[in-house]
């Protein structure tokens, strides 16, 4: 199991930890959940909108600001608006472009990243063109993050190489 808590669920619950290309990813999930999803946070409403489940919903708790390419967004705080709240608005705008009636829930948790964005209902309009354009714009620049397990392995290999390098003599 990827997470210790997953052992508490029976085998009928589909829980996955995997690398994915969000612009190509389609699911049949009823709920798409992004908790501290970093680069995938802006994709959560899009993935839910593309779900083959007609009742698909989503919740995302955004953290670090990333755009659809997966790159960090350079945000500037303005009067009365923190960078985080500007990013929350960005995710809400994406959600609305996907046809969701977007809700914000302020969580009572000890964190400055305490807004849950929900899409539990949809507008009656057809948003397929908008969703396709969002996927297209993100696909052209998207770079998947290297998983931590791979980063750790590479780091260990570099450390081994440094340890086995012969010392240079200063004659």
Per-residue H/E/C for 115-154: EEEEEEEECCCCCHHHHHHHHHHHHCCCCCCCCHHHHHHH
The whole-number pLDDT of residue 20 equals 80
Q: What is the pLDDT of residues 93-109, one digit of tens each?
A: 999 999 999 999 999 98
Q: What is the pLDDT of residues 24-42, one digit of tens each?
A: 889 998 999 998 888 999 9
């Amino acid at each position: 199991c990827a997470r210790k808590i997953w052992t508490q669920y029976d085998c009928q619950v589909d829980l996955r930890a995997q690398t994915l290309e969000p612009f190509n990813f389609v699911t049949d999930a009823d709920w798409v959940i992004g908790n501290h999803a970093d680069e995938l946070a802006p994709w959560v409403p899009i993935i839910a909108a593309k779900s083959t489940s007609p009742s698909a919903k989503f919740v995302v708790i955004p953290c670090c600001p990333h755009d659809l390419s997966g790159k960090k967004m350079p945000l500037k705080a303005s009067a009365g608006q923190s960078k985080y709240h500007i990013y929350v608005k960005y995710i809400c705008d994406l959600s609305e472009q996907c046809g969701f009636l977007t809700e914000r829930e302020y969580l009572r948790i000890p964190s400055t990243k305490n807004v849950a964005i929900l899409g539990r209902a949809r507008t009656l309009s057809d948003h397929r063109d908008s969703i396709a354009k969002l996927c297209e714009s993100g696909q052209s620049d998207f770079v998947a993050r290297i998983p931590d397990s791979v980063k750790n392995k590479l780091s260990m290999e570099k450390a081994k190489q440094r340890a086995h390098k012969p010392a240079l003599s200063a004659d």
